[in-house]
């Protein structure tokens, strides 16, 4: 049992010695370093997409004022503070809908530089996912804000009522949900119209096909002037050109009442017979533009005639269905084809009306406009020393220093640096109290005090310490500098500041003091942090070794 107690006592003694050693190290290190927890520069990032609005198709395209396809215009409001290159945000579209983007979809600034590039990154039954990525042009700004508009095609059956109604859409963006209710007029699924109306290819290389229509109200008085002339064709300017009429598929139909606007597919009516009810001319022209025309010898007053002319695409513009997932995303936007038409008498009277309509399967460009708020970094330095400048110091006096850095700019300074040259100070004094910093880390490396840390806009950090003057007869000069070399918006240098204090030498000893020797100059160790630490460690180790040796010799003492 005595052996057990002896061993236990030795272990306790060793633990006490180790504890004393750790305390000594901590005290020694504290004399040369100041550490504080850095406050958070910013709260949890706010959602980038702050608002989502939806409008019917016709509201987004003034060329189509009278009908709505299952296409809806969606506008995102975007705002991101301190964006970095490659930062992203995601938006998931409602189920039963497909995101339709044109090529090079992006948010651009006034100069045309892309701030955010937008692509569709996933398709799914729960809705497509669209991703926006911030570019180099946005990365050096404090904030990017803007809007982005794209088109949403509703492909799920039964989601939109044919006769119009309210479309309920729910989007997800940055973990938040945006609910929108939008009223629409008419919903027409063009993919149900094949044969005599809109027909499309299924691959990027297949030819497209579309139909142009012209409507005329019958005027029986025109029979005396050779009949009523109706013509339709495609706009000759790109990208509306590059198509040829399919004369075998042209139809002229007669309606007792107005069948509606010509810029949506129209069915019904009585199909007239070419050669007897009307004369077809596939090689006609209107002001030099090739058109397909029909001349009705005996039009009925009050009736309505609709000329439908299918056209095959012949040039590089390829018509593709927006809801076909087999088509690559770059090609899955629909083409725009303008149609021109004219209604007159058989003599092509220029006073006759001319119609212009737009094929509804145009989604328009996916684009946005953004602005950037410039990053304006700024760092201010304020230095003070006490006693005030002009006061003489003597050995035994204490001098205190406060260095304050303030972020007076509008962006965080994540790697601010302050340095103070203490070579002159450490020759005449020693740092006798721990260096403190309200945030960040301050250490003495050789003769240099270095502080590093982060400072949020409007915030400050103060580094403080004091030193005990030991040697007189000179001056204490402390040079202080600060910078933030990696600040967003450019480096932030600060002009050097110098603090100077004169030190008066001790008076010589008074005559007649006998054989007394004047006191020797105190050892200069104060601000020499590594020397203090080494001295403390040596004392602690020596004490620990003596204590262990004593315990070994007298274990029961």
**pLDDT tens for each residue of 487-518:** 998 888 789 999 999 999 865 555 444 443 33
> 232, 340 in Cβ contact below 8 A?
yes
What is the layout of strands, in order, in the sheet containing 413-421? Answer: 33-36, 440-445, 448-455, 413-421, 474-484, 492-503
pLDDT value of residue 121: 92
**pLDDT tens for each residue of 435-479:** 999 999 999 999 999 999 999 999 999 999 999 999 988 899 999
Residue 256 has pLDDT above 90, yes or no: yes
Q: Which of 27-41, 47-61, 170-184, 520-534 has the highest mean pLDDT?
A: 170-184
Using pLDDT thresholds of 50, 70 and 90, give the confidence band for residue 174: confident
Bridge partner residues of 282 (DSSP) = none
> 393, 387 in Cβ contact below 8 A?
yes
The number of CA neighbours under 13 Å toward the Cβ of 386 is: 6
> 322, 360 in Cβ contact below 8 A?
no
Distance CA 272, CA 250 (A): 11
CA-CA-CA-CA dihedral for 462, 466, 471, 472, to nearest 10: 70
pLDDT value of residue 236: 74
Across 369-396, average pLDDT: 92
Using pLDDT thresholds of 50, 70 and 90, give the confidence band for residue 315: low
Using pLDDT thresholds of 50, 70 and 90, give the confidence band for residue 93: very high
pLDDT value of residue 100: 76
Domain boundaries 49-188, CATH class = mainly beta
> 488, 140 in Cβ contact below 8 A?
yes
* Percent of the chain whose pLDDT exceeds 70: 65
SS3 labels along 46-59:
CCCEEEEEEEEHHH
pLDDT value of residue 143: 95
Residue 188 has pLDDT above 70, yes or no: no
pLDDT value of residue 158: 73
pLDDT value of residue 354: 64
pLDDT value of residue 44: 56
pLDDT value of residue 351: 59
Look at the block and give the residue holding tokens 């009442």. Answer: 257
Packing angle, helices 2-30 and 529-553, rounded to 10: 170
Residue 52 has pLDDT above 60, yes or no: yes
Distance CA 428, CA 500 (A): 13
pLDDT value of residue 438: 96
Using pLDDT thresholds of 50, 70 and 90, give the confidence band for residue 312: confident
In this predicted structure, which of 269-273, 319-323, 462-466 has the lowest mean pLDDT? 319-323
> 16, 544 in Cβ contact below 8 A?
no
Global confidence as pTM = 0.58
Distance CA 138, CA 85 (A): 7
Higher-scoring residue by pLDDT: 35, 162: 162
Using pLDDT thresholds of 50, 70 and 90, give the confidence band for residue 409: very high
Longest dimension (CA), the chain: 148
> 419, 381 in Cβ contact below 8 A?
no
In this predicted structure, which of 119-128, 154-163, 335-344 has the lowest mean pLDDT? 335-344
CATH architecture of 190-362: Sandwich (2.60)
CATH architecture of 375-507+518-526: Sandwich (2.60)
- For 521, the enclosing helix (H) or strand (E) is none
At 275, list the tokens.
Answer: 């050669």
**pLDDT tens for each residue of 520-553:** 333 333 334 444 444 444 555 555 555 445 544 5
Bridge partner residues of 501 (DSSP) = 476
As a whole number of Å, the end-to-end CA separation of the chain is 16
Phi, psi of 12 (to 5 degrees): -65, -40
Across 125-147, average pLDDT: 93
């Amino acid at each position: 049992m005595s052996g057990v107690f002896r061993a236990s006592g030795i272990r306790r003694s060793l633990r006490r010695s180790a504890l004393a050693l750790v305390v000594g190290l901590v005290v020694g290190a504290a004399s040369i370093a100041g550490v504080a927890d850095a406050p958070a520069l910013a709260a949890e990032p706010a959602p980038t997409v702050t608002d989502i609005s939806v409008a019917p198709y016709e509201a987004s395209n003034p060329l189509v004022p009278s009908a709505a396809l299952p296409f809806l215009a969606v506008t995102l409001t975007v705002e991101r503070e301190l964006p970095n290159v490659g930062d992203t945000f995601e938006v998931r579209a409602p189920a039963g809908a497909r995101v339709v983007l044109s090529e090079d979809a992006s948010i651009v600034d006034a100069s045309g530089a892309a701030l955010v590039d937008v692509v569709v990154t996933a398709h799914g039954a729960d809705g497509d996912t669209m991703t926006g990525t911030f570019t180099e042009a946005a990365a050096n700004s404090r904030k990017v804000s803007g809007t982005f508009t794209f088109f949403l095609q509703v492909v799920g059956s039964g989601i939109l009522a044919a006769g119009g109604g309210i479309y309920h859409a729910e989007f997800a963006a940055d973990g938040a949900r945006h609910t929108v209710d939008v009223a629409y007029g008419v919903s027409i699924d063009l993919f149900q119209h094949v044969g005599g109306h809109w027909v499309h290819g299924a691959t990027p290389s297949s030819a497209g096909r579309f139909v142009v229509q012209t409507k005329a109200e019958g005027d029986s008085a025109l029979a005396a002037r050779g009949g009523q002339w109706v013509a339709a064709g495609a706009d000759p300017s790109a990208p509306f050109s590059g198509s040829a009429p399919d004369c075998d598929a042209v139809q002229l139909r007669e309606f007792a009442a107005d069948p509606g606007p010509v810029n949506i597919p129209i069915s019904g009516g009585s199909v007239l017979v070419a050669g007897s009810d009307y004369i077809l001319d596939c090689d006609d022209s209107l002001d030099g533009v090739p058109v397909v025309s029909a001349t009705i010898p005996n039009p009925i007053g009050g009736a309505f005639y609709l000329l439908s002319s299918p056209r095959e695409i012949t040039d590089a513009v390829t018509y593709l269905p927006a809801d076909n997932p087999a088509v690559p995303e770059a090609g899955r936007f629909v083409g725009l084809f303008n149609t021109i038409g004219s209604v007159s008498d058989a003599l092509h009277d220029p006073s006759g009306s001319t119609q212009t309509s737009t094929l509804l399967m145009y989604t328009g460009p996916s684009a946005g406009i953004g602005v950037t708020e410039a990053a304006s970094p700024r760092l201010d330095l304020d230095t003070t020393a006490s006693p005030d400048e002009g006061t003489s110091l003597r050995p035994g006096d204490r001098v205190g220093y406060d260095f304050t850095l303030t972020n007076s700019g509008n962006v965080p300074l994540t790697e601010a640096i302050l340095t103070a040259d203490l070579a002159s100070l450490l020759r005449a004094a020693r740092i006798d109290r721990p260096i403190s910093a309200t945030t960040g880390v301050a250490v003495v490396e050789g003769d240099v005090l270095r502080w590093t840390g982060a400072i949020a806009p409007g915030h400050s950090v103060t580094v403080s310490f004091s030193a005990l003057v030991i040697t007189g007869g000179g001056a204490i000069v402390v040079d202080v500098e600060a910078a933030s070399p990696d600040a967003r918006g450019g480096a932030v240098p600060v002009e050097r500041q110098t603090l100077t204090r004169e030190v008066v030498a001790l008076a010589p000893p008074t005559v007649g003091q006998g054989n007394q020797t004047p006191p020797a100059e105190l050892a200069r160790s104060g601000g020499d942090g590594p020397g203090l630490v080494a001295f403390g460690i040596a004392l602690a180790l020596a004490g620990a070794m003596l204590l262990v040796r004593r315990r070994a010799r007298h274990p029961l003492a």
